Amino acid sequence: MKPAIGVVGVGNMGGAMAAHLLEQGWPVQVCDIDAAKVRSLEALGAAGRTDAAQAAAGCAALIVCVVDADQTRDVLFGRGGAAAAMQPGQAVLLCPTIAPRDVEDIAARLAGRGIAAIDAPMSGGPARARDGSMSLMVACADADFERQRVLMEALSGNVFRIGTRPGDGARTKLVNNLLAGINLAGAAEALAMAQRMGLDLVRTLDVIERSSGQSWIGSDRMRRAIAGDFEPRAHVTLLQKDTRLAVEAAGAAGFSGPLGAAARDVFARAAAAGLANLDDAALFKLLSQQQ
């Protein structure tokens, strides 16, 4: 018998993770501020819960998959929060992309209650979360890792053991997402340049994908941009947040690079231009309109 798992935040990523676990026979308890998302998972066999405390009750582990540190703290320590309902020995997987200092603070608060904190940010997008091929970057005590190994390997075929220091998973994720933001901003700029030069964008991207300019995120997003498809899979606001956090984390480590700050500023411009709730492929829309 697999133990019950709670998931709070069942949007694009959390919902895909919950569905993947259900498909593998895990009992899953879900909670989200959007009742429709809970109902869609109930149709797959999940048990819907009204708050985070109920989602965590009786579970071996609680997966927190919300947007930012404030939401994470509210899920765990706010009204109806999970931490007060959890028992020593249970674990919390912290999957949002948040600042390392926030991970450290949350982990310390959970440890004070005897609850294991597993710093486990994810990467790969909803399709890869749904099929179990996403990446998990895990930092936690060795004993906690071993206790939750089966769950993490059920969630992901790419579990990267980063270390034992809380916050190092977050640091690794920010390094990755900063590069993703740089690559996406670069791809959008290159395609906007190609458009201004009168080139066929589909053919140009065909060349890039088979040449030295290729990047996964550039290809994925620019194919959608060329088709005029800006339906959000990953909102502009996500990489806007992540590139900002990455540059801040770099500064805290005494590092300053030229490209991260430039990418951060492009995402901030896109949000300010009214594109915040579109797919981040909308960087092409922003840059192709430049005079």
pLDDT value, residue 199: 98
Per-residue pLDDT of the chain (291 residues; tens, 9 = 90+): 899 999 999 999 999 999 999 999 999 999 999 999 999 999 999 999 999 999 999 999 999 999 999 999 999 999 999 999 999 999 999 999 999 999 999 999 999 999 999 999 999 889 999 999 999 999 999 999 999 999 999 999 999 999 999 999 999 999 999 999 999 999 999 999 999 999 999 999 999 999 999 999 999 999 999 999 999 988 999 999 999 999 999 999 999 999 999 999 999 999 999 999 999 999 999 999 875
Residue type, 157: G
User: CB burial class (10 A; 0-12, 13-18, 19+) of residue 176?
Assistant: middle
CA dihedral 155, 160, 166, 170 (to 10 degrees): -80
Alpha carbon distance 185, 200 (integer Å):
20
Alpha carbon distance 218, 222 (integer Å):
6
pLDDT value, residue 1: 86
pLDDT value, residue 212: 98
Can you tell me which residue has the tokens 């940010």? 121
- The CATH fold of domain 172-288: N-(1-d-carboxylethyl)-l-norvaline Dehydrogenase; domain 2 (1.10.1040)
pLDDT value, residue 89: 93
Alpha carbon distance 53, 78 (integer Å):
10
Strands (E), 155-202: 158-163
pLDDT value, residue 85: 94
Structure tokens, 216: 């996964």
Contact between 82 and 58 under an 8 Å Cβ cutoff? The reply is no
What's this model's pTM, rounded to 2 decimal places? 0.92
Tell me which DSSP letter residue 114 carries: T
Give residue limits of the domains in the chain: 5-166, 172-288
Alpha carbon distance 80, 196 (integer Å):
53
Alpha carbon distance 279, 257 (integer Å):
26
pLDDT value, residue 283: 98
Non-local CB neighbours of 135 within 8 Å, separated by 6+ positions? 122, 123, 124, 156, 158, 159, 160
Alpha carbon distance 12, 274 (integer Å):
22
pLDDT value, residue 239: 96
Question: Architecture of 5-166 per CATH?
Answer: 3-Layer(aba) Sandwich (3.40)
Catalytic residues: 173
